[in-house]
Amino acid sequence: MAEVRLPENRLDFVWLLAAFITAVFLFRLVFIQLVNTEKYKSMADRNRTQVLTQSAPRGRIFSADNAAIATNRPSFSLIYFPGEKGSSALSDAMLDKMSLAISRRLNISQAGVREIIRKASKRDKPARIAENLSDREMLLMSELEAVYPGLETVEEARRHYPFGAYLSHLIGYTGKMDARDWEKFSKERAYSMDSLIGKNGLEKMYEKVLKGKDGGIYLEVDYRGRLIQRLESRKWISGSDIYLTINSKAQAAAEAGLRKSLSKKGAVVAIDPRNGSLLAFASMPDYDPNQFAQPSAERDKKLVLPEFNVALQGTYPPGSIFKIITSVALLESGKIRPEDTVTCNGSYDAGSRVFKCWNHKGHGKADFKTGLAKSCDVYYYVNSQKCGALAIENFARAFRLGKPSGIDLPYERAGNVFGPGPRADKKSYWFIGDTLNLSIGQGETLMTPMQAAQMIAAIANGGIFYRPYYINRIVKPGGAENFHAKPEILSTVSMKPETLRLVRDALNSVIEEGTGYMARIKGVKMYGKTGSAQNPHGEDHAWFVAYGTVGDEPAKIAVAVLVEHGAHGSTEAAPIAKSVIEAVLEEDIKAAAEKSMPSLSETASAPEKKESFGLKKSSKTSEMAAGGQYINE
Amino acid sequence: MNDSLTGLKKSRIDLVMLFCMLALLFLGTLVVISSVSGMPHHERIVRVQLMAIPMGLAAFFAAWKFNYQIFQDQWKFIYGFLLVFLGGVLIFGVTEKGACSWYRLPFFSVQPSEFARLGVILVMANFLDKRIGRIKELKTVIGAFAICLPVFFLLMLQPDFSAIVATFPVVLIMLFIAGASIFHLAVILGYGFISGIFPILWTLISLHPELTDNPVINYFYGLSESWGSAAVFIAAVALLIYMLYLMARKFYVGIPKLYFAVAALVIICGFFSGMLVQSKMKDYQQKRLEVFLSPESDPRGAGYNLLQARIAIGSGGLLGKGLHAGTQSRLGFVPERHTDFILAVAGEEFGFFGMTLIAGLYALLMRRIMSAAKVARDRFGYLVCGGIFAMFLVYFSVNFGMMLGFAPVAGIPLPLISYGGSNLMATMLALGIAQSVYSRRNRFV
């Protein structure tokens, strides 16, 4: 034994250290291999698999009458797969032959094709030789597939909008992701960096619904991305189809009308007053979403889209169409009898200032009906003071001014309510002149075309405000419906039936004998109101709101038209409204005409059937509108 | 002395240690063969591994049969041979991956730095044994490092830093178990800690540039670059410690003057060494440090390897993906997969079960080597086994720690598991010596 005792407890200490380290490692291993193993497993899988995605067809978008507004087109890509690992590389002679055959048939440079294939073969990585091939080119290429192993055509679906700019503000468009989109979508497995996504409108809002599940060729690759083997091919699943409430003819009429207008700027909103569904929704200027179907980086950068949606984001002074609200306020106040007259000689002296009527010659003695029908400003100047500005403001709020319509679209503006209330909030004074301006829709009142359409629809259906909607149903690829729209009542304006009758009567005479004569339709009882919103920056904006009924049936359509700088509602806006209403009521007009000529319908049995079909349809629709009540004249 | 060992039979070989060794060797060979399948020269690697095993076993049996005391007698020869062996590689060796550390022989290559560790352990054990009476003296500690210095210097010339990094703690642990003064070891550890912590702090700050908004941190960061502000820092430290000393005196706290002087010296020397390390650190070493401190800082570059290794281990789950079925290793995502990163392959293919088995076998092996030290017939045997124990501990903790994120990437293999003929030979030789110590024990009970 040694003369100096060794401190063996120190060795024990080192052993304790070793045991402690081992314990820590085991603890850590539990954490990595048992607790987080799923995370690491998926990371390992993502490492080793590479997918050549075949983008699935997006869900199609149809109008109510089954016109396909957004569809998909097959698009073919030619891909070269190098031989699986172990097979010999391409010989030069083979490379030449192959690239020559491809370049001749596709009419592209041989050197380019040769280089792509050579690199792909050398690096063992699959490569896309050509994209977006036509059907004919695809057939030519599939002939080559048999001759040259490794060549393969792959089908993909690309978004296509058959009618171009049609309904573009509602539909939106698809495009490549930008950095912000990628941040949002990168967590979802369904998306890769080059997936196309909805960038605006429906395409964006219903991205999840429209997007199918991409198919693809799954490859196992090594750490340098070299192809090891093909794992499997997965077929895509297409997205769900969306059926809109839009009437394709009415929409076409609205867009055509706006295109023909003076400024080619404006909006048309047509609503079914029975349930709030949108029949037409046009905003000019618009854009062709097909521009993005074939992505080209340069083009994307240069384009500045007219994405401003006039119908929802444009706020304008309502002008004379506001007189509808003022009229309701006057009659509901009980202080004005409809037969009381006001003498208009072209102007009104408010004491501090003289307020003019739009007709400088004056309207003479005007009662309620004349006042509204002829849009006599003096009638409203005088009577608004009787009922008071606050009453008008309250009705403006009841008609949902200053509130978004609640449609399921982004960036909607609420407009502005003008009246003593907001003034008081701003700690400012209200003057008589303000009351006069308010009564004829001038001053600070602002309205969107959407709100104008809601207003006239409420007159048509007796004061009910529905939440506007544009999707009737969503149908899964198998045919199962996963959504069906239900009308939703937001609020109602309580009006005496007498008020409604008087206002409607006056609105009818606007068409029959007043400023709205250009909107007359044979066989339809039309109700409307023109307006011109004063605009300090140029010509006035032209407004027209209208609805029409056929026979005893409730109104099926209410329209608001705004033409920027259109000057006169009567000449610029009214014809557009007429064509839209006509497009919707076409069938009903015909049916009614046949009904009124019994001699014809008796002889032919076919129109009978048609009529009965029409009746069925209407009974169905009235079911849908069960929530609303109708007051028929 | 230790009665817990009384259960041992009077056997010539420690069967548990032998079993651990063979089991680890078997597992390692399986993983190595699996990991290299699909690699360009995998037949050659498998051939070398299969050739190294019998050679390693031969070395093991030779070392076991030999009386280990001969190493004490012949320490001068061992030391001389070691220096010549390490020096020769600088002249006759071949350069691979930027380090001249290989003798190229007809069938295989020999890496002398792997044997250097064992040589240092033997020489150090002799030195400490001779100086055991004066073990508490500073001279002994200085002497121990003086012996290592030529070896380290030659390793530095290759350069093979990881061999130095792995040997240094072994020497420290040997000093510790030989009974060296805790104060001396604490000074060395403190010095090492301070010279290491400064580059780490500086790197950490450089990874978070927003921290430099704070003036104190910014000044501290500036220390790494300007000698002038460094001098101010030194003066401040010296002043602070002097004030502490004065305070201790005032309150009659009986701390010797020497301690304060040494503390100041350690901090100042450590600081300068830190500056030196910071300025001499190679780019790739700096990167490794950064990646260790913040693995997300470079997911495509240096962090990539660690991340891929982690993914491999984690994706193994409880039972692993099975031999030859690990995608991470088979498809080349794990780098150096048959040598330094072998545990990633083991973790992926054998899972938690396999990793626990390897760690457990290692712990048992270390425990048996420690027991051999305790029953040694002389101090030399005790110290040699302690050194071998320390060597395994260092390898084990650095390699596992690197895989699990406790230590930065260091090119250190895992003995008995990793591929590498020289490492296997040196390891088996060391285990043979441990068995030799065990079989020649005299504390039979």
Asked if B178's CB is within 8 angstroms of A11's CB, the reply is no
Confidence (pLDDT) at B304: 77
Question: Residue A25 pLDDT more than 50?
Answer: yes
Question: Residue A614 pLDDT more than 50?
Answer: no
Query: Is B134 found in the same domain as B11?
Result: yes
Confidence (pLDDT) at B262: 83
Among B317, B373, B404, beta carbon nearest to A28:
B404
Banded pLDDT at A300 (limits 50, 70, 90): low
Question: Residue A486 pLDDT more than 60?
Answer: yes
Domain boundary among B225, B249, B280: B280
pTM over 0.90, yes/no: no
Query: Is B210 found in the same domain as B121?
Result: no
Confidence (pLDDT) at B107: 74
Listed as ranges, residues in chain B with pLDDT below 50 are 1-4, 6-7, 444-445
Banded pLDDT at A622 (limits 50, 70, 90): very low
Cβ neighbors of B129 (< 8 A, separation 6 or more) are B72, B378, B379, B380, B383
For residues B13 and A262, give the distance between their C-alpha atoms in angstroms, rounded to a whole number.
Answer: 107
Q: Does A34 touch chain B (CB under 8 A)?
A: yes
* Whether the bond into A285 is cis, omega within 30 of 0: yes
Q: Domain A252-288+306-624: what homologous superfamily?
A: DD-peptidase/beta-lactamase superfamily (3.40.710.10)
Asked if A28's CB is within 8 angstroms of B393's CB, the reply is no
Asked if B355's CB is within 8 angstroms of A33's CB, the reply is yes
Confidence (pLDDT) at B258: 80
Asked if A34's CB is within 8 angstroms of B352's CB, the reply is yes
In a domain, B86, yes or no: yes
In a domain, B43, yes or no: yes
In a domain, B192, yes or no: no
ipTM of this complex > 0.85?
Answer: yes
Nearest CA in chain B to A31: B314
Confidence (pLDDT) at A608: 40
- Residue A52 vs residues A195, B102, B189: alpha-carbon distances, Å: 12, 46, 56
With contact defined as beta carbons under 8 Å apart, do A285 and A265 qualify? yes
Mean pLDDT of A307-318: 88
- Residue A34 vs residues B23, B316, B317: alpha-carbon distances, Å: 24, 9, 6
Domain enclosing residue B416, as ranges: 3-151+299-439
Domain boundary among B234, B250, B280: B280
Handedness of CA B345, B347, B353, B359 (dihedral sign): positive
For the segment A40-93, what is each residue's pLDDT rounded down to a tens digit? 998 888 888 877 778 888 889 998 888 888 888 888 888 888 765 545 567 778
Inter-chain contacts counted by CB atoms under 8 A, chains A and B: 142
* Whether the bond into B159 is cis, omega within 30 of 0: yes
In a domain, B313, yes or no: yes
Q: B166 to chain A nearest CA, in Å?
A: 15
SS (H, E, C) A26-89: HHHHHHHHHHCHHHHHHHHHHHHEEEEEECCCCCCEECCCCCEEEEEEEEEEEEECCCCCCCCC
For residues B234 and B257, give the distance between their C-alpha atoms in angstroms, rounded to a whole number.
Answer: 19
Query: Is B342 found in the same domain as B229?
Result: no
- Amino acid identity for residue B165 in this structure: V
Query: Is B134 found in the same domain as B273?
Result: no
Nearest CA in chain B to A227: B331
Asked if B177's CB is within 8 angstroms of A11's CB, the reply is yes
In a domain, B123, yes or no: yes
Question: Residue A399 pLDDT more than 70?
Answer: yes
In a domain, B94, yes or no: yes
Residues for chain A: how many in total?
633
Could you tell me the residue ranges of all domains in chain A? 50-141+148-224+231-244, 252-288+306-624
Asked if A8's CB is within 8 angstroms of B1's CB, the reply is yes
CATH: 3.40.50.12280, 3.30.565.10, 3.90.1310.10, 3.30.470.10. Which one for A50-141+148-224+231-244?
A: 3.90.1310.10
Confidence (pLDDT) at A290: 81
Alpha-carbon A628 to chain mean position: 26
Among candidate residues A197, A202, A219, A274, the one with its CA nearest the CA of residue A457 = A274
- Residue A93 vs residues A98, A99, A108: alpha-carbon distances, Å: 9, 10, 19
Among candidate residues A39, A148, A141, the one with its CA nearest the CA of residue A93 = A148
Asked if B312's CB is within 8 angstroms of A11's CB, the reply is no
Asked if A18's CB is within 8 angstroms of B363's CB, the reply is yes
Mean pLDDT of chain A: 82
With contact defined as beta carbons under 8 Å apart, do A259 and A576 qualify? no
Taking contacts as CB-CB distances below 8 angstroms, the residues of chain A near B317 are 33-34, 37, 41
Question: Residue A118 pLDDT more than 60?
Answer: yes
Question: Residue A623 pLDDT more than 70?
Answer: no
Q: A120 to chain B nearest CA, in Å?
A: 19
The widest CA-to-CA distance across chain B, in whole angstroms, is 74
Banded pLDDT at A603 (limits 50, 70, 90): very low
Cβ neighbors of A480 (< 8 A, separation 6 or more) are none
Query: Is B269 found in the same domain as B216?
Result: yes
In a domain, B169, yes or no: no
Confidence (pLDDT) at A397: 92
Q: Which residues of B73-108 are buried (b: 16+ CB within 10 A; e: fewer)?
A: eebeebbeebbebbeebeeebeeeeebbbbbeeeeb
Number of structural domains, chain B?
2
Confidence (pLDDT) at A598: 59
Taking contacts as CB-CB distances below 8 angstroms, the residues of chain A near B329 are none
Query: Is B431 found in the same domain as B392?
Result: yes
Confidence (pLDDT) at B386: 95
For residues A367 and A339, give the distance between their C-alpha atoms in angstroms, rounded to a whole number.
Answer: 5
Confidence (pLDDT) at A630: 36
Among A17, A33, A220, beta carbon nearest to B317:
A33
In a domain, B411, yes or no: yes
Cβ neighbors of B235 (< 8 A, separation 6 or more) are none
